[in-house]
Amino acid sequence: MVKWNYLNWEEMVERAITFFKKIGHGQKVVLMHHGDCDGVVSALYIAETVKEIRGRYPDEILWVSTKSYKLKNEKALIDHLAPDVLLVTDLDLGKEPETLKHWADVIDNVFIYDHHNIDGSYKDAIPRSIEYLNARMLGIPRIWHPAAYFGYSLFKHFSKNDYPWLAALGLRGDHAFDEYEELKNEIRDKFPELLKEIENEDYKNLLEKLVYFVNAGFFHNPNGEDNISFKVLQKAMKKNDYTFVYSNEEEAASLFSKRQELKSDIEKIYDGAKDEAKIYEDIPLLVYRINTPHYILGVIASRLKDDHPDKIIYIFNQFDDEISGEIRQGEKIDVNLIKLLLGIGENFKYISVGGHPRAAGCLFPASKYDEYLRLLEGRIHEFI
């Protein structure tokens, strides 16, 4: 099913619509999604699409934490569940050819939507029987369409009420909302309060506040089992009332509590970053390496970016024998961040990188930290 010569985004969405229409009423459907805001929003749209088609949600909905990108536990669970249809969103699986081959062998229908970086090796890694979509396959600069936008585009075909505030939330969570002027104008028209600036708060506006609360269920979930952000957004969607997310009512009470706990942890780590980060004088770079069980590096990186708009922000954290990095580009830096990062990868075969022009991430062996840092410094010297 894999196709690499799509003409445009609309053709790609039509391909997905064709796949989803074939989901049978009696088939066992499993949906697996990344647990951050973009992943949760995309999963909710996809789950609702399945419900529109066959009258009920997927039989199982699994969420994946950043630490589980290799999917050891999730793969075992999927084997146990033995689905007829597997739907995956917002997970970069092109680097997992053995997993994809296994799914192609044992599951009749596999659909994957991703929006991370893609290269020629993916053509060989993804079995032909898998329906794999990635907006980067279009080869159009600055077009990556996060998973939330895919879910929104798919769901609009099956329902008259497309919940634009939900799409805006997912895109804002993935630093992409400003790229979608049509949706942004719709939000300004129908939900102007979402973009109104808030004073004396931790958030710029209500849309940003929603992102923080949804991400709290992902970044501050000790057992990794309770898909609380999905449940809360599901109820908010049913009510068509985004204020439920931070209402401290029913399921939202748990999310409210997690947000309060997370806020405290963020402040502690952020204060440490402000005091201990290495700020380069000769190149626009700030580097901070920490060890934390919480997956909030992106939040810290974004706050430091606001403090240092003339820097590229790197926050490194070690998980087992690998180092994960969250990267943000200051507003006063005019450089293609992804091109810069891929240039490092040309000389550093161990690196995995993905993201957008102003927000990205990387993963590499902890033993290669010093080597990576040297290559990063040299690459920035070349660009700036």
Q: Pseudo-torsion of CA 4, 5, 10, 15, nearest 10°?
A: -50
Look-up of token digits 């993905």? 354
The mean predicted confidence, pLDDT, of the chain is 89
Strand order in the sheet with 278-279: 278-279, 285-290, 312-319, 322-329, 359-365, 352-356
pLDDT digits (tens, 9 = 90+) for 198-219: 987 778 899 999 999 998 888 7
* Residue 265 pLDDT level (bands cut at 50, 70, 90): confident
Residue pair 154/145 in contact by the 8 Å Cβ criterion: no
Beta bridge partners, 258, equal none
Q: What value does the mean pLDDT take over residues 354-379?
A: 85
Domains of the chain: 9-256 (3.90.1640.30), 277-383 (3.10.310.30)
**Residue of 131, 170, 104, 164 whose CA lies nearest to 17:** 131
**Residue 261, token pair as written in the block:** 């706990």
The helix/strand/coil state of 30 is strand
* Residue 351 pLDDT level (bands cut at 50, 70, 90): low
**Residue of 20, 74, 92 whose CA lies nearest to 351:** 92
* Residue 62 pLDDT level (bands cut at 50, 70, 90): very high
- Lowest-confidence range among 37-51, 111-125, 263-277, 346-360? 346-360
Residue pair 35/43 in contact by the 8 Å Cβ criterion: no
* pLDDT cut 70: percent of the chain above it: 94
238/66: higher pLDDT: 238
DSSP type of residue 333: -
pLDDT of amino acid 320: 77
pLDDT score of 223 more than 70: no
* Residue 350 pLDDT level (bands cut at 50, 70, 90): low
* Residue 272 pLDDT level (bands cut at 50, 70, 90): confident
The helix/strand/coil state of 311 is coil
Q: What value does the mean pLDDT take over residues 31-56?
A: 96
Amino acid 3 reads: K
pLDDT score of 342 more than 90: no
pLDDT of amino acid 164: 97
pLDDT of amino acid 261: 83
- Lowest-confidence range among 8-12, 49-53, 76-80, 138-142? 138-142
pLDDT of amino acid 247: 93
Q: How far apart are CA 186 and CA 377, in angstroms?
A: 42
* Cα end-to-end distance, the chain, whole Å: 42
Radius of gyration, CA atoms only, the chain:
20
- Lowest-confidence range among 74-88, 102-116, 182-196, 294-308? 294-308
239/296: higher pLDDT: 239
Beta bridge partners, 32, equal 62, 88
pLDDT score of 119 more than 80: no
Using alpha carbons, list the distances in angstroms from residue 139 to 17, 128, 335: 22, 20, 19
Q: What value does the mean pLDDT take over residues 35-46?
A: 96
Burial class (CB in 10 A: 0-12, 13-18, 19+), 55: exposed
**248 phi and psi angles, rounded to 5 deg:** 65, 25
